[in-house]
Structure 1
Amino acid sequence: MELSCKSEYALLALLELATHYNSGEPLQIRQIAAEQNIPDRYLEQLLATLRRGGIVKSQRGAKGGYVLAREPWKINLLEVVGCLEGSNSNLSEEETKPKTVESTVVQEIWTEARQAANLVLQNYTLQDICEQRAARKQLNIMYYI
């Protein structure tokens, strides 16, 4: 299991939106892209997907941009990754039915691994990422004194 580039960029963009959540001011794509080093056009597509998924809201106008649709502590990482990557629950029963004992064993282990990963992602929110980033920045400051 690997974190896709799409999910990583989306989480970085959402981290930026979560950091500015209390100000209530929308962030423009170019601001987020510059801060997190994400290509503008790719970020535009990601934010459109997240908007359709109800994770962010867009505001039009000169002072427009993107804001989180809910509080950062109410958006978990599983919801974000699921919005971008989709879920594997669309497979038909025939496609998931193993043909051999060996493939049954492999599939059961893979299912267990996916469930464990989903549980971890479900237990972390955007707020948790903000807090961990702040803690790391604080540690980095201490090293340079």
Structure 2
Amino acid sequence: MRFSTRARYGLRAMVEFARHYERGEPVPLIKVAENQGISEGYLEQLMTSLRKGGLVRSVRGAQGGYLLSQGPDKITAWDIIRLVEGPLDLTECVNEDEQVLCDWSNTCVTRVLWQRVRDSLRDVLTQINLADLCDDAERIRRSKEADMYYI
């Protein structure tokens, strides 16, 4: 199982917005694209999903860009991934809305395993919010600075 670039880039973009949340200033997508090495066009596609899902709002104009619609501590990794990736359906018989799509679902010996994997993944992603990711990013930045050796 692998998350697509939509999930990875969506999370990285949202961390950029979270880092500017306290200032209350919209962040232009060009700035996010430059900071994260992501195509601006691709970011536009992601922003459509995130805006429609209510996680960001856009501000038009010369000083425009995007803002989080709520605090970074209120937006989880799960919220973001669900909006940009869609439902987390690991197999035909184990999907988010619990629809039975497989003829073997009532007798499948691995169905319980796939349910546990799905639930565990959701649990981890709902426990991590944007504020946590910003804290992690800051810790990484500081550790890289500490590793620098100047002559």
TM-score scaled by length of structure 1: 0.91
Contact 2:72 2:129 in 1 (8 A): yes
For residue 36 of structure 1, what is the aligned residue in structure 2? 36
> Does 2:68 correspond to 1:68?
yes
* Structure 1 position 90, deviation (Å): 4.7
CA separation in 2, counterparts of 1:49 and 1:6? 10
Shifted more, 37-46 versus 105-114: the winner is: 105-114
Cα distance in 2 between the residues matched to 1:105 and 1:121: 26
Greater fraction of residues in helix: 1
With over 3 angstroms needed to count, the CA separation of the structure-2 counterparts of 1:69 and 1:118, relative to structure 1, is: same
In 2, the alpha carbon distance for the partners of 1:28 and 1:61 equals: 10
Q: Provide Cα deviations, 1:85-104, integer angstroms capped at 9, x if missing partner.
A: 222435632x1452684xx1
Q: Could you tell me which amino acid in structure 2 is paired with residue 118 of structure 1?
A: R
Q: 1:85 to 1:91 in 2, by over 3 A?
A: farther
Aligned partners of 1:98 and 1:107 also within 8 Å: no
Q: CA deviation at 1:4?
A: 1.5
Percentage of identical aligned residues: 33
C-alpha separation in 2, matches of 1:62 and 1:21: 19
Amino acid in structure 2 at the alignment position of 1:98: W
Q: Does 1:5 align with 2:1?
A: no
Aligned residue among 92, 107, 111 for 2:99: 92
Give the Cα–Cα distance (whole angstroms) in 2 for the partners of residues 137 and 99 of structure 1: 47
Per-residue CA distance 1:62-94 (angstroms, 9 max, x = gap): 11110000000000111111111222435632x
Structure 1 CA distance for aligned equivalents of residues 105 and 144 of structure 2 = 52
Gaps of 5+ in 2: 88-94
Judging changes above 3 Å, is the alpha-carbon distance between structure 1 residues 49 and 100 closer, same or farther for their aligned structure 2 residues?
Answer: closer
Gaps spanning 5+ residues in structure 1: where?
none
Question: Counterpart amino acid of 1:124?
Answer: I
Q: CA deviation at 1:55?
A: 0.5
Q: Does 1:113 align with 2:107?
A: no
